[in-house]
Homo-oligomer: A and B are copies of this chain.
Amino acid sequence: MSGAAVATAPESEALSERVAAAGHAPIAVDAMGGDDAPSVVVEGARRAWDDGTPIILVGRPGELGDVADIPVLAASEVIAMDDDPGPSVRRRKDSSLVRSAEAVRDGWAGAMVSAGNTGAAMASALLRMGRIKGVSRPAIAIPIPKPSGRPTVMLDAGANAECQPEWLVQFAIMGVALARTRFGMAKPRVGLLSIGEESVKGNGLVKSAHALLESSPLLGATGAPFVGNVEGRDLMSPDVDVVVTDGFTGNVALKTLEGALSGIVGLIEQLAGDDADQARPLLRRAVDELDPENTGGAMLLGVNGVCVISHGSSSAWAIANAIRVARETVLADTVGALASLVRP
């Protein structure tokens, strides 16, 4: 297929078979989003396809190269990495991002994955899929890997630079839904990111949110305990499972983690000198385990569908991984669980 966008799912024998075997609708992959799109994205999608995941690539068919048997949904427009999200999404109705979100809305894709413009991906998902009832603002959740096993779910990692205290309570409930369905934690412990353990510590937002989290009947009903304030050093602690914060603080914390990771690896290589070759495989494994991108990238929670957002600099491996995460999230019905927990 090629040319104008279509309003129905692309069909192929290969896809139907995969959908039947996988038990879920295909993952819509924004082929045009990312620093090295479409080539790296297509390569990542091919890997996931080779592993049996049902996929549709969304983008300009003539530019995608060898897509193997993967069906393509044609979308004639592209939203660039530095385009202004709101206006782009409103105007470029035939963009790969908007078409991906529509595919999820219309039910013939189970999830969307993009390594493109983060703001535009969020806006597409929000405008096309809509918000889940009871959610004031969707938030980006990120799993922070830790040595002790299951990750910490941190949200908001960047969707909302400024937040109201009551949104943080909703973030907590959304985080509980993700921790429960994706990571098998029945009663994840919820912490509030602050600058001291005492409830009087923090800024105005945190103090108000602390009181709301302590008394929220909705959060209480989930059975997940609120363990109070946690600090930046607790993000990788085994003592907390879900950490809520505003999107400004969360994004700074996430990127600080990423920077620390490459900083310490750089320093160890430097210190190791001639022994660096020996140390490198070990460091590589540590980085792979701790890199949030490799754990599955960011997920927009609170919209009525699954939306996984990868780094613009994602490798083919990271794209394949994001597709795997999207697939697992569909199968775990995270969105359904979230909707039933957050409804007032």
Which A residues contact B (CB, under 8 angstroms)? 146-147, 158, 161-162, 193-195, 201-204, 206, 231-237, 245-249, 251-268, 270-272, 275, 279, 282-283, 285-286, 289-290
Chain B residue nearest to A146 (CB atoms) is B263
Residue with the highest number of chain B CB atoms closer than 10 Å, among A203, A235, A252, A258: A252
Query: How far, in whole Å, are A283 and B193 apart by their CA atoms in the complex?
Result: 28
What 4 pairs between A and B have smallest CB-CB spacing? A232-B255, A233-B259, A232-B256, A260-B260
Q: Please, which residues of chain B bring their CB within 8 A of the CB of A254?
A: 232
Residue of B with least CB distance to A253: B256
> A234 CA to B283 CA in the complex, in Å?
21
Residues of B within 8 A of A279 (CB): 279, 282
Contact, CB under 8 Å: A248 / B282: no
Query: Are A286 and B259 neighbours in the complex by a CB distance under 8 Å?
Result: no
Tell me whether A264 and B235 are in contact (CB under 8 A): no
A344 CB → nearest B CB, Å: 27
Q: Which of B161, B206, B237, B255 contacts A202 (CB 8 A)?
A: B161
A sample of 18 inter-chain contacts (CB < 8 A) reads: A147-B270, A161-B201, A194-B252, A195-B255, A203-B246, A206-B248, A231-B251, A232-B256, A233-B259, A234-B259, A235-B256, A249-B249, A252-B252, A263-B290, A264-B264, A264-B265, A264-B286, A268-B283
Chain B residues within an 8 Å CB radius of A251: 195, 231-232
In contact, A264 and B271 (Cβ under 8 angstroms): no
For residue A234, which residues in chain B have a CB less than 8 angstroms away from its CB?
259
Q: Give chain B residues whose Cβ lies under 8 Å from the Cβ of A248.
A: 194-195, 202-203, 206, 249
Name the contact of A161 in the complex, choosing from B158, B161, B203, B270 (C-beta under 8 A).
B203
Chain B proximity of A191: nearest CB distance (Å): 12
Contacts of A158 in B (CB 8 A): 195
| B253 with A252: CB separation less than 8 A | yes
Are B195 and A252 interface neighbours, CB within 8 A? yes
A85 nearest CB across to chain B (Å): 11
- Check A232/B204 contact, CB under 8 A, given A237-B259, A264-B286: no
